[in-house]
Chain A
C-alpha cells in the first residue's frame, strides 16, 4: 500500500514530464522545422496584412449599418453576405465563422427548429442570387429543390473552409455578373481551388472559398 503510494507519486511526475512536456515539445520542434507553414496555421497575408487561414472558413459579409452605427444582435454586428464574394456554408457559431469558439448547431433530424433554420438558409441563398432589379443570376432562377444540401445545412465545425462544387458553380453566375467576368473565367478559378478526395476515394471534393475569393480579388481588384 505505502509502496504503491510512493511509486504512484513518483510515477505520475515522471509520466507527466515525459508525456506532457517532452513529447509535445519534441513534436513542436520537429513540426516547426519540417512544416512551419502548416504548424502555424497556413496563414495568408495580402499586402502585409493577415487576412485568414487557408483551411479556416470565414464570413464574407459586410456589417449592416443602422443610423450610421453597426446594427448589433447580442453584442455582435449583424452582417449581410457580400455578393461579390463566394459565400461559405451556414455556421452554427456565434458570430458566424467564429474560429475562437467553434461549435455545432446541434439541430435535430425531426425538429421544427431545424426545418425553420434550413428554410431560412434556403431563402437567403435564393435571395442572394437575385440582382438588384430582381432577376436571378442563375439561368431559370433557383428553387428550394435546386439548392445544394451544403448551402442549406449547417456545417459541423462552424468554420468549414469548403463548399461543394455544385454550390460554387451556382454562385459562379452571380460572381461573373457582379464582377464583369466571363462565366468561363470564374469556372476555371473554381476548378483551380477544388481539392479532390483523399487518396482518390476518401471524403468529398471541396472548393476552398477563401483562396477562391482572394484569386478573384487579384483579378478584378478587391474591397
Chain B
C-alpha cells in the first residue's frame, strides 16, 4: 500500500460528494419542473417530442399506469434491439459494418438484448469480434440511455409516492423519460465523451488498422465509435464495454486521469439522486442520512479491496515473486491489472463499478485475491444499495429504509412511520418481496447451473478448479440478477473460433438462464417498488410527534447499515464461504 493509493481513495470520495450536491439540486429541479439553465435549449425539443409521441405530459399516472407504460416501452426496446442484433449484415449499406460481421447465435442475441435492456450489460460476446458499429450505436448505445432512464424514473416515482400529498399520481412516465434523456443523460454524455477523446479515446468508423509493427510481426487494431459509447456506459451505470476487456482497454480508458474521471462519472448520478431525494422530501437530512450509510459501506469495501490486492496472491508467492512496493514498481497482485492504473486505481475502480450496477471493469475480477474478490461478491450481496445503479440504487435502498423503519418501530413498540406516513402490513409485504426477489433469483439460478451438466459446460476448466470454478458460476448469476454485468470472465456462454461469428455457437443453457435471471430480477423489484409508491402516495401525513422515530440521525444510519448487512449476510454467507472466502483464508493452490 502507498500513501498515493490512500490519497486517491480519499480525494475520490471528497470530490464525489462536492460534485454530487449541486448535481442533486439540478436533478430536483428537472423532476419538479423548475427552471434550469438548459431550458432554452431543450424546451422546444421537449414539446416536439410529446407531440410526436402523442402523449399528454401534464396527465399524471397512478402506479399501475406508470408501470404499464414502463413495461411496454421496455419490451418494445428489447424487440428492436433483438432484431438489430439478428440482422447485423442487413445494415451493411450504412457502412457501419466495415469488418462484415454476421450475427451471433440467437441465444447469445437473446442474452445480450435482455442484458442491455435491463441495465445489466452482461456480455457473453466480445465486442470487437462480434458487433458491427451499427449494432453498437443504434442497438447497444440506445439501450444504455434508455435502461438508465428507466432506473432513474422509477426512483423519481418512488420519491413522489413517499412525499406525495395529493392523490395517487406518481408523475408521467413519458415526461420523465424525455426529460431524463434531454436534461440529464445527453448533455452530460456529450461533455464526458469529448473529455475522453481529448485524453486519448478513439471515435471513428474506420476499418480495423493493419499495422506492420517494429519487428515486422504485424498487428490488427480494432477501431470504432468508442468514446460516445464509453461516456453513456459509465454515466448510466451500464458497463457494457465496446471492447472485450472493457475499461482495461487503452482506447476506452487511456490513462490514470481518465480512470479517476470515469469512476466519478459512474457514481455522480447515483450519489446526486440521494441529495435530490433530500431536497424533494423537504428535509435534506433525510438524504444525508442515506448518503452517510452508503458512504460508510463504500469506504469499508474500498479499503478491504485495496489492502487485499496490495498484499499479493498465493500463486504469486508460490512462484517466488516479491510483492512489496519498491521504487518504480507497484508490487501487489498485478495479475490481470494494467500498469497505468496500478493496485489502488484497479481496486477502487472495481469497487465503484460493483457497488453500482455498472459492472465495467478495468482489471480481471477473476484474478483478484480471495478477499479482494470477495468484495465485489459482498457488494452484489447487498443488492446494489451502496449508491447502486442510476435510480435502482435509490429505490432499492428506500425499500431497505422502509424495512429498517418497520424493524425500528417494532423494537420501540410504536407504529412505524416514515416522513409522516404510516407503514402498514401491505407496504411491508411489498417491501419484503421487493428486497428478497433478487437474492432468491441469484441463488436459484446458481444452484441450477452448479447442479446441472449443461450449466457446468460454461466453466473454464483449463484455468478454474475447485472454489474458483464455483466462484465463476455463482458470480455469473449473482451479477446478472443484480443487473451489474461484471464477470469472473472465465465463465462463458459463447464459443467463437474466429472473429465475425461464422462457425460460432452459444451455450444455450447459460445464455437463456442468464437472460431470464436478468429480466426477472429487474422487473419484479421495479413492480414492487412502484406498488409501494402507489400504496404510499395516497396516505395522509400525520405531523411528527415526540414518539416519532427519527430517520435522519446517526442511530438510524447504524440501524440501516445493520439491516442491509444482516439480510445480505444471512442470504449469501454460506455460498460466499464456498468460493472466495475459502480462497482468501488459505494459501493452498488448487
Contacts and interface: CB of A to CB of B under 8 A. Distances in A.
Q: Do A and B come from one complex?
A: yes
A165 B256 CA distance: 16
B570 interface: no
A118 B316 contact: yes
Interface string A181-223: 0000000000000010111011111100010011001000011
B72 interface: yes
A55 B245 contact: no
A106 B245 CA distance: 11
Given A11-B76, A56-B221, A150-B329, A223 B216 contact: yes
B225 interface: yes
Contact of A99 (B197, B220, B231): B220
Interface residues of A, number: 117
Nearest to B330: A204
A115 B319 contact: yes
B363 A15 contact: no
B420 interface: no
A35 B462 CA distance: 43
Contact of B463 (A113, A158, A202, A205): A113
Contacts, number: 437
A28 interface: yes
A100 B222 contact: yes
Interface string A1-25: 1011111111110111011110110
A144 B243 CA distance: 34
A4 B69 contact: yes
B219 interface: yes
A61 B217 contact: yes
A24 B229 contact: yes
A154 B340 CA distance: 14
Contacts of B589: 110-112, 114-115
A28 B198 contact: no
B98 interface: no
A135 interface: no
Interface string A22-42: 011011101110110011111
A104 to B, nearest CB: 4
B367 A203 contact: no
Interface stretch (B207-215, B425-433, B448-456): B207-215
Contact of B259 (A5, A51, A52, A202): A202
Given A18-B186, A107-B366, 16 more contacts: A1-B72, A8-B75, A8-B77, A11-B177, A39-B204, A41-B223, A58-B214, A85-B214, A102-B248, A109-B335, A109-B583, A111-B590, A154-B336, A164-B329, A202-B257, A202-B345
Interface of B: 4, 7-8, 11, 49, 52-55, 68-69, 72-73, 75-77, 80, 126, 128-129, 137-139, 141-142, 144-146, 174, 177, 181, 186, 189-190, 193-194, 197-206, 208-217, 219-223, 225, 227-229, 231-232, 243-245, 248-251, 254-260, 312-316, 318-323, 326-342, 345-346, 361-364, 366-370, 372-373, 460, 462-468, 471, 488-490, 499, 583, 586-590
9 closest Cβ pairs, A-B complex: A203-B256, A198-B256, A198-B257, A144-B320, A204-B342, A165-B328, A166-B328, A156-B248, A114-B315
